[in-house]
């Protein structure tokens, strides 16, 4: 069953699917408004049809097409909506799906305060303008803000596209609880860091780990704008490293098996460690702004594509803030904005 040769890949008008195990499929729906593809997992066992991370809000019809085309009976046949975290590419479609499906949406205490105003919440965490104002110094701050006007404030468009939305058809679980889904027993593990509500779903008898955006090929974005936390992220990596996982199912990119899982965890740890080291080397006794530091760390040239460059800057800022808290860097409030200098 774990033999990769049994994996069947299909390319379709709505995207692609891979049958990873007898009862588990990975869908990648086409993203009509951007380039980032999300892994949506479908588990089918007898009357159970569970969907984990159903994708972007503008992909609901594509999900409908996929679930029909694959013979699952469409969205109305879904029995469980499950999530790894609250971000728009994973849980942003929840209210829209609620309008088409009678199945409950899994929720947990960390997302609970936002459910009543779900689309407001999505727009708020995707609006990075307050962060740009707080994190950058002039002249970059004004330049970045100017470039952003007229655009949808960093992806904050849920209200504009879909109006307000409340997620009400829910089933509440505690972190640490086990969710029964068909023959699966999914333990909800604390995987905070990349999102203050991030979980990992762990199936101990199958040894499957749904890790959301905890382990990605690129560094997991950690942004102050979205309430992310580097220390929690490191703790989550440690927690996940102890699991005897045999199948790693990530929110983006390819699933991994066996030894490759430990490599994926090590890669994420190395990404954190090397950014920390680069930042320490880039800091100097002369106060420097965030943008200049990030540029220096990237060898003087912005990274491509631009999304990768933004992740790099956001992660640099997250590391910087922790160094300031720990007394390893000094924040200098300058007329231009926040500047930083190394300590020792």
Give the binding site for Zn ion (CB under 5 A). 89, 213, 251
**Residue 251 or 342 with smaller CB distance to Zn ion:** 251
Q: How far apart are CA 102 and CA 105, in angstroms?
A: 9
Nearer to Zn ion, 137 or 188 (CB): 188
In angstroms, give the least distance from the CB of 161 to Zn ion.
19
Residue with tokens 């530091």: 293
By beta-carbon proximity to Zn ion, the closer residue of 89 and 228 is 89
CB of 333 to Zn ion, least distance (A): 34
Residue 308: CB atoms within 10 A of its CB come to 15
Q: How far is the CB of 46 from Zn ion (least distance, A)?
A: 30
Q: What is the dihedral of CA 161, 166, 172, 176, to 10 degrees?
A: 50
Backbone φ and ψ for 248, nearest 5 degrees, come out as -105, 120
Shortest separation between residue 183's beta carbon and Zn ion, angstroms: 27
DSSP label at 220?
P
CB 320 to Zn ion: min, Å = 23
Instruction: Give the residue with the Cβ less far from Zn ion, 44 or 90.
Output: 90
Nearest to 251 by CA among 219, 310, 210: 210
Angle at 271 between CA 265 and CA 277, to 5 degrees: 135
DSSP 8-class letter at 207: T
Tell me 18's DSSP state: E
Nearest approach, Cβ of residue 41 and Zn ion (Å): 13
Task: List Cβ neighbours of 69 (8 Å cut-off, separation of 6 or more).
Answer: 12, 14
DSSP of 92-128: TTHHHHHTT--SPEEE-TTTGGGGGGHHHHHHHHH--
8 Å CB contact between 110 and 189: no
- Residue nearer to Zn ion on the CB measure, 141 or 198: 198
Q: Give the nearer residue to Zn ion in terms of CB position, either 167 or 214.
A: 214
Cβ of residue 105: shortest distance to Zn ion, in angstroms? 18
Sign of CA dihedral 144, 145, 149, 152: positive
Residue 86 or 140: the one with the smaller Cβ distance to Zn ion is 86
Q: Radius of gyration over alpha carbons of the chain, in Å?
A: 21
Q: Min. distance of Cβ 278 from Zn ion in angstroms?
A: 24
Considering the complex, state which of residue 59 and residue 89 has its C-beta at the smaller distance from Zn ion: 89
């Amino acid at each position: 069953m774990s033999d990769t040769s049994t994996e069947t890949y299909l390319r379709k008008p709505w995207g692609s699917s891979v049958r990873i195990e007898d009862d588990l499929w990975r869908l990648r729906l086409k993203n009509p408004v951007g380039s980032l593809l999300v892994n949506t997992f479908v588990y089918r066992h007898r009357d159970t049809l569970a969907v984990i991370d159903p994708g972007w809000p503008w992909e609901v019809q594509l999900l409908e097409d996929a679930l029909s085309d694959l013979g699952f009976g469409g969205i109305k046949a879904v029995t469980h909506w499950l999530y790894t975290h609250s971000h728009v590419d994973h849980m942003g479609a929840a209210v829209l799906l609620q309008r088409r499906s009678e199945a409950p949406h899994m929720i947990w205490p960390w997302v609970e305060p936002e459910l009543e105003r779900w689309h407001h919440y999505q727009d708020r965490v995707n609006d990075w303008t307050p962060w740009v104002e707080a994190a950058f110094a002039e002249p970059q701050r004004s330049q970045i803000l100017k470039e952003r006007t007229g655009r949808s404030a960093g992806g904050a468009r849920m209200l504009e596209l879909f109006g307000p939305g409340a997620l009400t058809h829910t089933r509440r679980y505690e972190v640490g609880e086990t969710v029964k889904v068909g023959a699966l027993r999914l333990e909800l593990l604390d995987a905070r860091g990349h999102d203050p509500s991030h979980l990992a779903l762990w199936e101990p008898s199958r040894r499957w780990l749904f890790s959301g955006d905890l382990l990605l090929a690129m560094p997991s974005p950690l942004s102050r704008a979205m309430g992310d936390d580097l220390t929690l992220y490191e703790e989550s990596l440690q927690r996940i490293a102890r699991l005897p996982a045999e199948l790693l199912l990530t929110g983006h990119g390819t699933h991994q098996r066996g030894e490759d899982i430990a490599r994926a965890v090590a890669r994420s740890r190395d990404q954190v460690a090397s950014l920390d080291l680069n930042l320490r080397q880039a800091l100097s006794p002369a106060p420097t702004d965030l943008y200049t530091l990030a540029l220096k760390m990237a060898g003087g040239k912005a990274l491509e594509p631009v999304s990768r460059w933004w992740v790099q800057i956001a992660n640099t800022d997250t590391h910087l803030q922790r160094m300031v808290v720990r007394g390893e860097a000094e924040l200098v409030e300058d007329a231009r904005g926040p500047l930083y200098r190394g300590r020792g």
